[in-house]
Structures are given as structure tokens and as C-alpha cells.
Structure 1
């Protein structure tokens, strides 16, 4: 899900199928990751798949978002887009989640400073877009973003409030996406149209190699709760590492995420297909799939007692189906007022743009 998947960037005259395909593939990985999470405590295979997905799928989202982001001084139009495409949908969905949790769990708290489940990424995107013009003024903005990402893990007072810790932790990927656009590598090498077989083979090799590492070291990774490191959320001390070198672990995960994100993007199909059409509705998949998975996750159906390869495969197939359905035109038509509110009533009536 990126802000460009709906209406968060300036209108373009021609959509590139590759980017829509990448968006849909990435958001489907999000759904799968959330769907199989309850299987991971008792199933090593499920945990391998889960860690593989979480190694790169959110960084890939951030890279795609950065690629389509402008670094110049924000115009009135761009500032309005932050409010209507990110902040307002966040408040709407956060309110709905509060009602759902009150009905199901009896929780009586509405706290928009702490995002519910998947909504944190909307706040992170808003922060990305707000800070990019300032980072763009600096020399070596990519280096500074890496320093910030690693450094924030040493600060226990920077937490999930307004998704700040995650936004700073994932900032290098967003800046990398913006730099890729600035460098013109995709256009110069025509990577949105075709990919040499050597690069595709190398991409497959990268996934095979990392999967092998996960399989071999799955028990140490389970013991170390590696998945929490991949959230870019908690300070190092809360992850059990108070040593000075803890930041090097995050740096290593950043490197892995960049390699796998590149491999993922190189393997995404370039041609237009039905997936390309679905890729234009990834915001709907991202914001709505949690409501579909919530009752399944909370029911206990996907407990450790049912863990097996066949259950894992069935859940993955089901999650793919959920992603497809939520990206279809009828669903988008029904939920457009919630996901893409026009909110013209919110702004004063003047002629500034």
C-alpha cells in the first residue's frame, strides 16, 4: 500500500503496469503475513515463511512510496493530500477499530495517538512525506536516514506514539525509493519494461539463500524473537540487546531488506494483466483486510493445535483470495467514502493550490 495507490500523488497520464503489479504483490504479502501469524508459535515452516515476508515487504512498500514522492517545498495541494489521503482515513478507520474492539473485547479507549494494528503505516507515510523536503536539503540524505534509523533504536522514549519509532526506523527505505527516482536508474535501464535474465536469476538466488538461512537458524531466530526486530518498532533494550553494537543488527536487517526488496521488484511481472487492475486498489486491501482476518485470528481457529503444512497452504491461498476480493471494483465503490474521502468540507474556500 502506498500513497500513490489511490489518490495521494499528482495525477499521471499513464500508469505503468509494473508498479501496479508490485503494489498488489506487496499488499498480498501483508495479508499473508497477518494471516499466518497465529500459526508461527508451533510451526517452524510457518515461521520461516513469516520471517521471509517480514524481511522485506514493508521496506518494499516504503521504497515504492518514496519513488513516487516529491521532495520539493510542499504546495497547498500536496498538504491537503496528506490530510485527505492519510490523516483523515486514519482517523476514520481508527474510530471504526475502536468500536469493533469495544463490541468484541469490551475495550473502552479511543486513543488516536496509538495506531490500531495496520493503521500505523498511514501515520508513517505522513511523516515520510513531511520530512522528505527537509532531508532533501542535506548532503547524503540516504546516509542520514540510516543514521536516524539505527540511532532511534537506542532511545527508549521514542515509541509507537504516532508511529514515530517505526517511521524513523523505516525512513531509509523511503529515502532510497526517492533517490532511485532521482538517479533515474529504473528509466535509464528500462527496468519497468524488462529485466535481464541474469538479474532475475540473481534475485531468485537471493531469496533461496535467505530462505536457507532462515531454515538452518530457525530455532535461534525463534529464541531471539527476530520478528520483532523486523517491525522496526521497539528500542534495542526492549528487544533484549542493550549492548552498544545492537544497532549493527538493525543495519544488517536493513541490508537484507534492501537486497530482498530489489530482488522482489526485479521478479515482479512487467506486463499488464488483471493483477495490474487490482494493483490500483491496494489501499483498500491494506485497510480492510484486517477486519476480515480479525474474527479468524481471535476465534482461535489458527492455533498451534492445527499447525500443519496443509493448513499453512490453505491459509495462504485464503489470504490471496481476500486480497483479490478487496481490490475489486465493487468493494472499492462501496468503501470509497471511508478510504478515499473527498472532504471538501474540511478546507476553507479559497483559490490557493
Structure 2
């Protein structure tokens, strides 16, 4: 989510990214209502079928230009600083006002939506570790890791380990995808079929919300926690992957190709992502959700979420909070480089002296 290149097809992925952040905001805004509104429950389930896999996928796509080298290190540093800043802010506000149940106030337990920052940091490191492997092996290996993560005997809140591995395949796929590889799928015929398929999935959510635990879509729960301690529980994860792939492909039919205002908003989704949680948690702590019981109220929540997404993606918001959202980490990078150079210089100097001493003693003997 940090940085945009000028590659062919970027407009499509920026448009997709904005539509997805709308879904992120809407899903999080609907979550407090899923037990009191059937409409909220249906929309929430439908959105969760695709929005996290696709958001991870598009994040992987925009990672390619800045994964390695100095730019890659700076991006990792920026993600780390973002995490420290917003983990602190959300935790302090939660302790003072929000009081969300079940939250562990620790830098090792990301606060709700901040799991994405922790996982993004790890996805980059994992991709760097796998860079010598072929793309097919990387994808296969990530699917295996994502499946095995469900057998880990603890929940995934700890540094977002479970979600990191569960959504890793989508990040790897996004990294290796190009617009040219998928453009042939985005024909008018495909788009019409995809939109129809996505709407059918929305209709199917009426059934799946009653039969499918949304915990499977979160990626943060163990198989045992989902009520499946069988040795073959990993097959259910494969089935969820297939469902998410189908729902994600169907949603692509809604995405426009052309660059425009949607693309410009899509370049600022990081601001929406990091700020929208304050609005939702603030509304919940003020008791606003207690007055929403009707279908009309649920529709109003979705409309307001869409409007606020646009508002938070405006240039004025970026100008106001840019130092907070995208902190300058150049000075940290320079400091680390200086320390690293000093260490290397000292290390090699000590090594040369040691070898000189050994050689001198050997000559005497």
C-alpha cells in the first residue's frame, strides 16, 4: 500500500483498490449490526468472501517495484513506524474511550485492523526469502503454509501469524501478476458474467451466512477453534481458497479500466485504511449503533461508510495528516546505514588484525 508505479494497467488496480477500501470500511461499519440486522449479516458475509483476499492481492501487485534494495528497506521501515504509531494511538484511545472487548494491548497483538500492517511487513520478508524459487513453487509453498497455519495450536492474534500465512498465497499471486496476464479475462463478456456471478454470490450469502462460519473467512482462527479438529481439516481451507478465488474473480467485473477520479482516490487508500477505524470505534463507543435496528438504518450505515471513504481519500486529508500516515524514515535509514558501515569497517579491521596475528605466529613456528 506504499507507493505506486507507472506500469501498464495501474489505473485498473488503483480503481480496484479504491472499491476494495470502500468494502473494507463498509464491512467494518456493518460488523456491530450483524447480530441485529439480517441485511447487515448478508452484506458482511458477501464482502468477506473477497475483500481481504483481493486487498492482499492488489497490495502484492504494488509491492513489485519496491520490494528489494534501498527502496524495499525504506518501505519496511515505514510500515514498522506506521504500525508503532497507530498501535499506540488505537491502544491509548481504546483504553480511554473505545473499550473493545477481547483486545490485548501489546505491540505483539495488532489492534483489530492493524493486523494488515504486521502481515504486510512479514509478507515482504517471506517473499524476499523465497525470491530464488520459481513463481509456481512460491505459490504452491504459500498455499501449503496457509493450510498448515490452521493446525498451529494458538489463535492468530499474536503478531497476526495465522493471517500472515493464510493470506500469503494472495500476496504472492499479486506480486507475480501483471495487467497483461489478466486483461484478456476482462472482456465485456467476462465482465457481464463476473458481475452476474458476484450478485449471485450476494444472493447465496443468504444461505451461506447461516451455514458458513465467517471465522473461515477471517483467517485468524485455528481449525480446532472452528470446530474441526480432524486431521483432514486442511481440505476445508482449500475449499475456502477456491471460494475466495471465485468471489474475487467475480468482483473484478465491477472494476473500471480507465484512469480518472477513482484512480486518484485509489492512490490514497492508505489514509482511509488507517483512519476509518477511529470513526467506527468512536461511533460504537458513543452508542450510535444502539439506535440502528431497521433495514433503513443498515442502508444508511452503508451509504455513510461510502461517503466517508471518499472524504478520507481526498487530497486535503492527505495534506493534513501526511506526516502521521507516511512518516519520513529517511533519517532512520541513514542512521542504520551508518551503524552498519561502522560495524562492517570495525569487523573487517578486527578480522585483518586477527589474520595478521595468526600469520605472524605461524611464521615464527
Give the Å deviation of 1:253: 1.4
Q: How does 1:187-198 map to 2 (within 5 A)?
A: 187=180, 190=183, 195-198=186-189
- How many angstroms apart in 1 are the aligned matches of 2:161 and 2:218? 12
* Structure 1 residues 105 and 284: CA distance shift in structure 2, 3 A: closer
Note if contact 1:229-1:239 (Cα within 8 Å) is conserved in structure 2.
yes
Give distance in 1, aligned partners of 2:152 and 2:24.
28
> Does the alignment pair 1:261 with 2:248?
yes
Q: 1:143 maps to which residue?
A: 140
Supply the distance in 1 between the matched residues of 2:67 and 2:46 (Cα, whole angstroms). Answer: 37
TM-score, scaled to structure 1? 0.87
User: Does the CA-based 8 Å contact 1:17-1:276 persist in structure 2?
Assistant: yes
Distance 1:347 1:217, change over 3 A: closer
Name 2:327's counterpart in structure 1. Answer: 341
Once residues 250 and 7 of structure 2 are traced to their aligned partners in structure 1, the CA distance between those partners, rounded to angstroms, is: 28
Q: Which runs of 5+ in 1 are unaligned?
A: none
Sort the Cα spacing of 1:199 and 1:153 in 2 relative to 1 into closer, same or farther, 3 A: same
Q: Does 2:242 align with 1:243?
A: no
Q: Is the 8 A contact 1:71 1:136 kept in 2?
A: no
Matches within 5 A, 1:1-353: 2-3=1-2, 7=3, 11-12=5-6, 16-70=10-64, 74-84=68-78, 86-104=79-97, 110-139=105-134, 140-157=137-154, 159-181=156-178, 186-187=179-180, 190=183, 195-221=186-212, 226-303=213-290, 306-348=292-334
| Shift in CA distance, 314/156, structure 1 to aligned 2, threshold 3 Å | same
**What is the Cα deviation at residue 135 of structure 1?**
2.5
- The TM-score, its normalising length taken from structure 2, stands at 0.84
Residues 336 and 73 of structure 1, relative CA distance in 2, 3 Å threshold: closer
3-state secondary structure, aligned to 1:234: coil
| Deviation sequence 1:56-101 (CA, Å, 0-9, x none) | 10100111112233399831331121111x1101100111112212
Distance 1:237-1:171 versus aligned 2 partners, 3 A rule: same
In structure 2, how many angstroms separate the alpha carbons of the residues matched to 1:335 and 1:276?
20
CA distance in 2, matches of 1:259, 1:136: 27
Which whole-Å deviations, capped at 9, do the CAs of 1:280-321 have from their partners, x for residues lacking one? 110000000000111112333224x73222111100000001
Preserved contact between residue 151 and residue 222 of structure 2 (Cα < 8 Å):
yes
Change (3 A) 1:150 1:37: same
* Alignment RMSD (CA, Å): 2.5
Structure 1 segments of 4 or more deviating over 6 A? 106-109
**Would you tell me which structure has more helix in proportion to its own residues?**
2
CA displacement at 1:148 relative to structure 2: 0.7
State the distance in 1 between where 2:314 and 2:9 align: 18
* Counterpart secondary structure, 1:278: helix
**Displacement of 1:157 after TM fit?**
3.5
Alignment partners' CA distance in 2, 1:99 and 1:265? 38
- Give the deviation of 1:229 after TM superposition: 1.4
Whichever of the two has the greater Rg, that structure is: 2
